[in-house]
Amino acid sequence: MARHHHGEGQTTVSGPAPSPEMGGGHLDVFGLTDVGKKRTANEDQFVIARMRKSLELEYTSLENTEALDQLGHSAARLLMVADGVGGSFAGGLASSSAVEALTEYLGQTAGCYYKFDVDTEHEFLDQLEGAVQKAHERVQSHTPKGRGPATTLTMVTLVWPRGYVIHVGDSRGYHLRGGRLRQFTQDQTMGELLIEEGVMTEEQVRESGMHNVLSSALGADYIPSIGLLDFRFNDVLLLCTDGLTKHVSDDEMAAILEREETAESACRTLVDAALDAGGTDNVTVVVCRMVAPDE
């Protein structure tokens, strides 16, 4: 298993996975994280893992993987990004604790994800929600006497051709199909709440800075958003932290994902675009391309 950790800049992962369950097609997946130009520590984390009767960790930005290495080619993939808040040490602790807890828990229960149908989807989603609750409790355990670090989480469990989404905070998920990019997550911020309730306009929210204040995060008050996605060959999935979306517009992201032929080149180009535009925050991206058999 190839694994690359934080160095002077970027942390990367790669590897196509031919899958008989996809009719000869495969998932081209890559992840990349960068500390950016302004921060001294990287509070972002990502995980890409295969799931069957055991969970096989493929790639991650985590420094400590001893616990994850204890977890025992498949149609199921676990993809997640997390962005810690609360200061460089606390934020990094929150995001790493959350993804470690999620990966450990799902690794222990991965047998129930091997094969299922629509009738068992509710049970499957319950298991995913339970894993997120474990992650929330793990983050909270670091500050039992008061408010402490917290983290966003955007997670997709892909069991071809369906994706199961759990989202907390303001990291984002995007789905590209036919050149059209759609954001399938909604930012859980105080600004979005105030706009929805008609209390403030988008311009007023931007001026107030409330668009950066989380209304939901693991380790604090959180309400997970749960959804389903159906994929086709040639679709592209993007998970990212706000270090990307602060600097790169949806149109720019769509053009990059449409133009780049591999998940790796898409990740590198997206991160470079964020850095070239200022790189004021940590930036993390995970790209998954649904490659058709004839490719």
Strand partners, 229: 163
3-class secondary structure, 12: strand
Is 268 within the bounds of a domain? yes
Is 3 within the bounds of a domain? no
Model confidence pLDDT, tens digit, residues 189-212: 876 666 566 666 667 656 666 667
Is 113 within the bounds of a domain? yes
Q: Measured between alpha carbons, how far is residue 21 from residues 26, 27, 29, 53, 160 in Å?
A: 9, 11, 17, 15, 8
- The contacts of residue 157 (CB under 8 Å, 6+ apart) are 51, 76, 77, 78, 79, 113, 128, 163, 164
**CATH number of the domain encompassing residue 196:** 3.60.40.10
Is 237 within the bounds of a domain? yes
Is 103 within the bounds of a domain? yes
- Structural element, H or E, at residue 262: none
pLDDT value for 115 = 52
257 against 12, higher pLDDT: 257
Alpha carbons 66 and 36: distance in angstroms, whole number: 27
235 confidence band (pLDDT: 50, 70, 90): very high
Is 135 within the bounds of a domain? yes
Is 133 within the bounds of a domain? yes
Tokens representing 210 are 């409330």
3-class secondary structure, 84: strand
Is 115 within the bounds of a domain? yes
103 confidence band (pLDDT: 50, 70, 90): confident
Question: Looking at the 3D structure of the chain, how many domains does it have?
Answer: 1
Alpha helices in the chain (DSSP H): 88-108, 121-140, 190-196, 202-208, 242-245, 250-259, 263-276
Model confidence pLDDT, tens digit, residues 57-72: 677 787 776 655 544 4
DSSP letters, 117-156, are -GGGHHHHHHHHHHHHHHHHHHHHTT-TTS---EE-EEEE
The domain in which residue 269 lies consists of 10-291
